[in-house]
Amino acid sequence: MKVLMFGWEFPPHISGGLGTACYGLTKAMLKADMDILFVVPRLYGDEPAGSMQLISASGVEVDPGDEVFQSEGGKISLFEIDSTLLPYTTEEEYLDLVKQLETVDQVSKIKWDSRTYSFSGGYGKNLMEEVKRYAIVASNIAKAHDFDIIHAHDWLTYLAGIEARKISGKPLVVHMHATEFDRSGENMNPSVFAIEKTGMQAADKVVAVSHLTRDTVIKKHDIDPEKVITVHNGVEPFENKSLVEVKKHFPEKIVTFLGRITYQKGPEYFIEAAYKVLQRDDNVRFVMAGSGDMLPRMIRRVAELGMGARFHFTGFLRGPDVDRMYGMSDAYVMPSVSEPFGISPLEAMRSNVPVIISRQSGVSEVLKHALKVDYWDIDGMADAIYGTLNYPGLMNMFKKHGKKEVEGIKWDQAAYKLKQIYQNMLHV
Amino acid sequence: MKNICLYFQVHQPYRLATYRFFDIGDHDRYFDDHANRFIMQQVAEKCYLPANDVLLSLIDRYGDDFKVAFSISGMALEQFKAYAPKVIESFQKLASTGAIEFLAETWAHSLASLKSKKEFEAQVSLHKQAIWELFGQKTVTFRNTELIYSNDIAKMVFDQGYKTMLTEGAKHILGWRSPNKLYASAKVPGLRLLLKNFRLSDDIAFRFSNRDWNEWPLTAEKFVSWFQQAAPGDEVINLFMDYETFGEHQWKETGIFDFLEAFPALAIEQAGMRFKTPGMLAEELKPETELDVPYPISWADEERDLTAWLGNELQDEAFEKLYQLEKDVYHTGDEKLLRTWRLLQTSDHFYYMCTKWFSDGDVHKYFNPYNSPYDAFIHYMNVLSDFTIRVKIPSPAR
């Protein structure tokens, strides 16, 4: 079985987690005896393709007159990229992105010459332009190769998937890693939302990374539930990094929030829960690590509650500091309002830190050894924090099972399920 | 095969309220009165009352040939009185026929037999007293919480004056032997043992409405024909199960009440069998042999051991901390604290903390009011933390 797959990025050149997810998935698919032609906007030559065929969309010859999207009418207009367009963005990646945005002018200078187009492959200001060009190139790639099925990852590649389907007549699977609703709440970018919807409508099957995401596309994008199948993400086996032993210079326990301080991540619920815990337990400090547009408001709220002496903001943390932070933590809280999957609790767990996660996250669907609360249930969240810090049975239980559980969440399971989906579609 | 022994367990715990850590030291309203009342009234209507009616009519029709044994936990009795007094009356009516044997158990449906002889004995006495007061019966047969049994427990039960006890016909104890006979304890041979035939019992309790089961639908004819397949020399089929099987675990719509009515009728009329109580059987039958049970067995799950209630870190911490308070609780001499301590001993609390259902057992999930064992543990520990504070306050200040 040969799959023509459209992605937007591939390791090591990734700025979001989408590339990491595609890498993990495709590696497992190869193991499961599927052949993959993986298309990305551009290649750098150092991608670890293995037995997979990687295709760069840059340099594929097209007829300049072949601008399919022009003919489809101006429904999709150009818009300015904003950082929230990425799935799986971590704090670090966010900052990289900001940097990238500062150099965005360079990107837009790359010109479409007569026959080939050199994609930036990033998330620059002319992203929508690139998305459309990618689709044009996609139809040429589809013409030139043999394959059984088409698979497109996230909205950026949906138009490419649709074009490839038109040309080849092969069935299309679109993969929802994060929806515009998850990224922006009710303030969705209408153009992105429209592409998501168009892609899912045109597709023969939609794969969602969690039941939560499946619900979102059914309710928000109005997609036929029959068509949408959940395939939970896996996690790449973590390198055998030795756990960071950190010496704390104070006796109190530490409860940590680590992530972008934005609406989607629910930082304000963490603060309100912290306040409740501090009323009863003076053997604890709270840490909010990260940056984001809600940070100033969060700092004001902590001051307002008069708990600044016990609630600390670290700002943005980089690689080794993230590990140190986990090393110091006695509990990790992810109070996300909407999280298609959510990898950070798994990182905490492999550092032996017990996690409290919101039920509004895809990862809560696959984790057993985690405390789960609704993100708005501040009392429940506070109770879970207090219990984790004060009843040793919980900590012991999490330490015993957490790490093992994370190691069991594999991409192989996702690849297996995907293969079944393909087989059903192809009636083989 | 001549005899059938029907025994039903009746139990409802006092479920805990949502009790947050910031309630600790503030109030002691630990129990969810609303939920407890609601559930009791619902189960009364769906199960206890209609099932009692079926039994009453069978007793009416078959007189001496139809007998049933019940064990009703002390807290179920209490909650009947408080929330569904009609159920008490209904059981009293059954008792007045003389066809019912009430069994003894620990008042709080507790695991005290595993931890404290003193508390175990106190609870057995309490329960004995309650049965005497409500039904005018002196209990002669004992069944421990969840049919938990071991050599050591046998000794305690015998010392309490009981000559007969029920437990599970666990495969790993019986080996090639049949559960359909009377046995005796290896430790105290004076104690007779009746063993649950788990295959036939669970056919009713767990599989009755399961359409994936290759024997579905289970008819009275089919069920009674299985009795006849017992080995020659077998003497009694022990059908032990939760009474809530009827109308609660297996809904009325599955035909479970019709079945409850039909299979005894068929067994008596066509197969010539008699339904007898454990007390009668212990008198009539001779023990086949002695059973040595060094490690506790129970009627739960595939393992038939204690792992539904004890063994994981959550359960063990809660259980240890609870029983560490024994001396202090007795020392206070405070009846209310003693009672609360007992309500916290109910095995259900520990069952809710079981992590086994992560991999197996829809059964666990069905009976669990919590989303996860972790939630159950946190609630329980919050309550226990408050209770501990109250027990440790010197009495004049309390």
Residue B342 sits in the same domain as residue B239: no
Please give the Cα distance from B139 to B125 (Å, whole number).
10
What is the number of structural domains in chain B? Answer: 2
| A278 contacts on B by Cβ (under 8 Å) | none
Per-residue three-class SS string for chain B: CCEEEEEEEECCCCCECCCCHHHCCCCCCCECHHHHHHHHHHHHHHHHHHHHHHHHHHHHHHHHHCCEEEEECHHHHHHHHHHCHHHHHHHHHHHHCCCEEECECCCCCECHHHCCHHHHHHHHHHHHHHHHHHHCCCCCEEECHHHCECHHHHHHHHHCCCCEEEEECCHHHHCCCCCCCEEEECCCCCCEEEEECHHHHHHHHCCCCCCCCCCCCCCHHHHHHHHCCCCCCCCEEEEEEEHHHECCCECHHHCHHHHHHHHHHHHHHCCCCEECCHHHHHHHCCCCCEECCCCCECCCCCCCCCCCCCCCHHHHHHHHHHHHCHHHHHHHCCHHHHHHHHHCCEHHHHHCCCCHHHCCCHHHHHHCCCCCHHHHHHHHHHHHHHHHHHHHCCHHHC
Name the closest residue on chain A to residue B319, using Cα atoms.
Answer: A393
* Nearest-by-CA chain B residue for A356: B374
CA atoms within 13 A on the CB side of A204: 16
Question: Residue A228 has what pLDDT?
Answer: 97
**Residue A243: left if φ>0, alpha if ψ -120 to 50, beta else—which one?**
beta
CB within 8 Å: B382 and A387? yes
A384 touches chain B (CB under 8 A): yes
Instruction: List the structure tokens of A174.
Output: 């679109």
B21, B316, B371: residue with CB nearest A372: B371
Q: Find chain A residues with C-beta within 8 A of B385's C-beta.
A: 390
- Does A393 contact B at CB distance below 8 Å? yes
Question: Touching check for A400 and chain B: CB below 8 Å?
Answer: yes
Nearest CA in chain A to B359: A368
A393: nearest CB among B21, B313, B372: B313
pLDDT of residue B1: 77
Statement to judge: residues B236 and B353 lie in one domain: no
- Whether B303 maps to a domain, the answer reads no
> Is B308 a domain residue?
no
A371 in B contact zone (CB under 8 Å): yes
Q: Per-residue pLDDT for B82 more than 80?
A: yes
Residues of CATH 3.40.50.2000 domain(s) within chain A?
A: 2-234+410-426, 253-407
Residues 321-340 of A with CB under 8 A from B: none
pLDDT score for A95: 52
Could you tell me if B270 and B326 lie in one domain?
Answer: no
The pLDDT, as a whole number, for residue A185 is 77
Give the CATH number for residue B247. Answer: 3.20.110.20
Query: What's the pLDDT tens digit per position in B199-212?
Result: 999 999 999 999 99
Q: Are the Cβ atoms of A276 and B22 closer than 8 angstroms?
A: yes
Residue-level pLDDT at A11: 76
Q: In this complex, is the C-beta atom of A279 within 8 Å of any C-beta atom belonging to chain B? A: yes
B73, B10 contact by CB (below 8 A): yes
Cβ–Cβ below 8 Å for B372 and A371: yes
Chain B residue at shortest CA distance from A379: B20
The minimal CB distance from B381 to the residues A276, A281, A387 is found for A387
Number of inter-chain CB pairs under 8 A, A vs B: 63
Q: In DSSP terms, which residues pair with A56 in a beta bridge? A: A40
User: Which of B21, B371, B377 shows the shortest C-beta gap to A280?
Assistant: B21
Q: What is the mean pLDDT of residues B188-195?
A: 97
From A405, which residue of chain B is nearest by alpha-carbon distance? B358
Which CATH code for domain A253-407?
A: 3.40.50.2000
Which of A272, A391, A394, A396 is most worth mutating to test chain B (most B CB atoms within 10 A of its CB)? Answer: A391
A40/B contact by beta carbon, under 8 A: no
Give the closest residue to B112 by CA, choosing from B104, B120, B100.
B120
Which residue in B has a C-alpha nearest to residue A380's C-alpha?
A: B20
Stretch B141-155: mean pLDDT: 97
Domain for residue B332, yes or no?
A: yes
Examine the domain organization and report whether B262 and B377 are in the same domain: no
Q: Which residues of B touch A401 (CB under 8 A)?
A: 355
Q: Are residues B226 and B352 in the same domain?
A: no
Do B98 and B147 lie in one domain? The reply is yes
Q: Which residues does chain B have within 8 Å of residue A391's beta carbon, measured at their own beta carbons?
A: 317, 377-378, 381
Q: Is residue B74 part of a domain?
A: yes
Same domain, B282 and B318: no
Point out the residue among A370, A372, A391 whose CB comes nearest to the CB of B381: A391
- How far from A195 is each of A125, A179, B309, CA to CA, in Å? 17, 11, 53
Judgement on whether residues B341 and B284 belong to the same structural domain of the protein: no
Contacts of B316 in chain A (CB under 8 A): 393
Segment B335-344 mean pLDDT: 97
Q: Is residue B278 part of a domain?
A: yes
Q: CB of A397 within 8 A of CB of A369?
A: yes
Q: Which residue in chain A is spatially nearest to B383 when comparing CA positions? A: A387
Asked if residue B305 is part of any domain, the answer here is: no
As a CATH number, domain A2-234+410-426 is 3.40.50.2000
Q: How close does chain A come to B314, measured CA to CA in Å?
A: 5
Query: pLDDT tens, B247-297?
Result: 999 999 999 999 999 999 999 999 999 999 999 999 999 999 999 999 999
Residues of A in contact with B24 (CB under 8 A): 280
Tens digit of pLDDT for each residue in B12-47?
999 999 999 999 999 999 999 999 999 999 999 999
Question: Is A374 an interface residue toward B (CB < 8 Å)?
Answer: no
| Chain B CA closest to residue A367 | B358
pLDDT value at residue A114? 47
Most B CBs within 10 A among A280, A397, A400, hence the mutation to make, goes to A397
Residue B298 lies in a domain: no
pLDDT value of position A92:
52
Residue B148 lies in a domain: yes
User: Are B199 and B271 members of one domain?
Assistant: yes
Among B20, B317, B374, whose Cβ lies nearest the Cβ of A392? Answer: B317
Residue B378: its chain A contacts at CB < 8 A?
Answer: 371, 383-384, 387, 391, 394
Per residue in A338-372, pLDDT (tens digit) is 899 998 899 899 889 999 999 999 999 999 999 99
Residue carrying structure tokens 């911490």? B317
pLDDT at residue number B231: 87
User: Which residues of chain A have a pLDDT value below 50?
Assistant: 64-86, 89-91, 94, 98, 101-114
Which residues of chain B neighbour A379 with C-beta distances below 8 Å? 20
Of B258, B291, B324, the domain-final residue:
B291
Buried b or exposed e, range A104-138, using 16+ CB within 10 angstroms? beebeebebeeeebbbbbbbbbbbbbbbbbbbbbb
What distance in Å separates residue A388's CA from the closest CA in chain B? 8
Min Cα distance B22 → chain A (Å) is 7
Shared-domain flag, residues B347 and B267: no
3 state SS of A285: strand
> Which residue in A has a C-alpha nearest to residue B25's C-alpha?
A280
- ipTM comes to 0.85
Query: Nearest CA of chain A to the CA of B333: how many Å?
Result: 28
> By the CB < 8 Å criterion, does A265 face chain B?
no
The whole-number pLDDT of residue A49 equals 67
| A390/B317 CB distance under 8 A | no
Who among A379, A393, A396 is closest to B20 (CB)? A379
Residues B269, B357, single domain; the answer is no
Determine the Cα–Cα distance for residues A323 and A346; give it in Å rounded to an integer.
13
Reported pTM: 0.85
Question: Of B261, B291, B321, which marks where a domain is finished?
Answer: B291
Whether residues B342 and B210 share a domain: the answer is: no
Cis previous bond, B217, omega within 30: yes
Rounded to 5 degrees, φ, ψ at B348 are -55, -40
pLDDT at residue B361, rounded to an integer: 45
For residue B120 the two structure tokens come to 């175990």
Contact: A394, B377; criterion CB under 8 Å: yes
B253 included as an active-site residue: no
Domain that holds residue B188: 3-291
| Chain B hits for A366, Cβ within 8 Å | none
Among the listed residues B105, B119, B146, B244, the single catalytic one is B146
Q: How far is A400 from chain B (nearest CA, A)?
A: 9
